[in-house]
Structure formats: C-alpha cells, structure tokens
Amino acid sequence: MHAQRTEDDSVLVGGRRGLGHLTLNRPRAINALDLEMIRALNVTLDRWERDTDVDVILLDGAGDRGFCAGGDVRALHEMVTGGRVDEVHAFFREEYALDHRIATSRKPVIAIADGVCMGGGIGLAGHAAIRIVTERSRLAMPETRIGFTPDVGGSWLLARAPGRLGEYLALTGGTMDAADALYAGFADHMVPTAHLEALYEALENRADPSSPTELVLLFDESPEPSRFETAREWIDDAFAADDVPAIIERLRARSEAEAHETAELLATSAPTALAVTLEAVRRARALPSLRAALAQEYGLVLWFAFTQPDLVEGIRAQVVDKDRSPRWSPARLGDLPSERVSEAFAYEPEPSLW
C-alpha cells in the first residue's frame, strides 16, 4: 500500500479501508519539515478527524534515509536573519499545534520512525499513539548542537526518560538506536524493515476485533539490550548535578572513557543552550501536560530566535557554511551571566502559543 505520488507533493495523502496514510515526501532533505508540510498535515488530520471512513492514521517518510531529519533549519535561519518575525511565529505555532494534535487525536496515529528521526521528526513520531522504530532508526534531539534547545514536546519526552537520561540526551544531542529509543521511552515497538510492507498490508486489511496495537505486536521483535542499561550509573551520577559546570566536573571524575568524552563535548558546546536546556528538562518534569511543555518551549525558542545570536550562528556553522566552527556568545560556561537562564524563562512571546 502506497500513497499516490506526484513530483510537487511534499506530503502524500493516501490509504483505504479505514486507514489514512500520510507520507512526508522530501526524501532528498530527509523529509525535513517546512511550513507548507506542517500546514498540509494539519489540514488533512483535521479533515480525517471528522471523516467516519478513517479510523486509523499511518505516518511515515519517503525514501530510505529517514522518517524526518527535523525542521528546515536553513529556512528558519533565513527567516530570523531576514527579520521575518511573523513567519517565525507561524512556523513554531503551527508546528506545535500539529504535534499536540497528533498526541490528542481521537483516532490512533501510528508513526514509523525508520532511519533518521530527529528534532521536528520527534515532534511528529514521539507523540503518536503507536511509535515504531526499526533496526535502521536513529533518533535524537540535537538542538544544542546549533545553540538551541529541544522543542516540539521534546522536553516533555526527555523529562520522562529513566533516571537522568533526559538531561544526558538533551545536553549532548546524543543519538539513540532502536533499543535506546525503547529504553528511553521514545518508541513503543521495534519492527524490522523487512516486515514493514506486511505490517502496512495488515493494517489496511485488518479485521475486527484486531486493534492496531495487536497487529503491530505480530511484527514486533525485541532488539538487543540498550547501551543505556550499563551507562546509567555514570549518566545518573553526573547529570544529577545542580548545573552544567558541576555535571562536567562529575563526568571528569568518573573512570569511564565515555564520561570523559561527554565532558569534553559539553565543554565546547554553546553555554547558553546547555544552561537553558538543563533547566527546561527539569522544569518539564513538574509540568502537568504536553500542552504546558509546548507552551514553555515556545517561549524559549522565540527567546533564542529573537534575542540570542547563538541560534543563527549555530545554523550557519552546521548547515549553511558547514565550517563546524561556531563562535558562541559567550564562548565559555564561566562567562555565562548568572541571570541568563531566568531571562529565558521570563520571556513572554506575543502572540502566545495557545
């Protein structure tokens, strides 16, 4: 079963027999999300919410590189540097509304996070009712790498990962394979790619009373144990520290080589992004809902976009010029103003998200 494809469609809409099928279709960009795609997904989901002929929704990505590499950060760079404030607001407001719609849909959304699934891709797949990964899956919230902070409800998921994995994944932008994603709570099932076509057919031809979850379980396979099972000791110890400098100090005091590598990564990352992100994950643990986490993230991302140079600089270094040599402001954790984090959380965006 495949959606009907045309050359210009960035989102393909198809399906039959009660199954609505949405496919992100920018494979050359690993299906990176732009505002046109977000709007197309929202319009279709809104229509299907009222369509009695659709009772299950399948979401996947075209091509074999990945489900979705995230939001189109090059486009975001152009919007911010071009002073297109209204477009920046619209992008995040409509993206977050889409993420929340998927999370609260009355009709179960099944997301196939095959291959690369990062940033905005986590916003789509991470909040679905049934979240499937494969042996090719690589999941991450890598926003700190561009001087930014995890959003699209990522802080909500990170805050609910076991132990201090949330802080670790948020600050390092570390990549998870299928086993890691299951362990950290970013996925529900691992289905080998060789079984995906059969899963699609089973979902399309399902007979009552088989639920989507029961059908997925027919193809579910348990991966090898996650590396986090053995790494939890040093991760939980170090990332429980009060602030980023203390986390780095604890990492350097550990005997594990990976802990030392993590310390060096954090020492060269964007100080503002690290400090704000650590606080965001910890505050998200006390928030009552995904909706509240998205509202918190919305204020933070606009604070970064409109008041901080690091986001534009990070995208420039990683995506535009690709020199991989960002010049953070400030460059050192020791130079980070003590009030910087509180300023970020005090920022009140206008218009508000909800």
Give the residue numbers annotated as catalytic, written as ranges: 71, 120, 143, 151
Are 311 and 80 spatial neighbours (Cβ–Cβ below 8 Å)? yes
Peptide bond into 271 cis (omega under 30): no
Element (H, E) at 57: strand 56-61
Please report, as a single letter, which amino acid is at residue 139: L
Separation of alpha carbons 247 and 245, rounded Å: 5
b vs e for 7-29, b when ≥16 Cβ sit within 10 Å of the residue's Cβ?
eebbbbbebeeebbbbbbbbeeb
Which residues make Cβ contacts (< 8 Å) with residue 251, sequence separation at least 6? Answer: 234, 238, 259, 260, 262, 263, 266
Pairing status of strand 11-14 against strand 19-24: antiparallel
Are 60 and 66 spatial neighbours (Cβ–Cβ below 8 Å)? no
What φ, ψ does residue 223 adopt, rounded to 5°?
Answer: -75, 175
Tokens found for residue 258: 């990976």
Are 86 and 109 spatial neighbours (Cβ–Cβ below 8 Å)? no
Please report, as a single letter, which amino acid is at residue 125: A
b vs e for 102-112, b when ≥16 Cβ sit within 10 Å of the residue's Cβ?
bbebebebbbb
Tokens found for residue 100: 């929340």
Separation of alpha carbons 156 and 166, rounded Å: 9
Exposed (0-12), middle (13-18) or buried (19+): which is 46, by Cβ within 10 Å? exposed
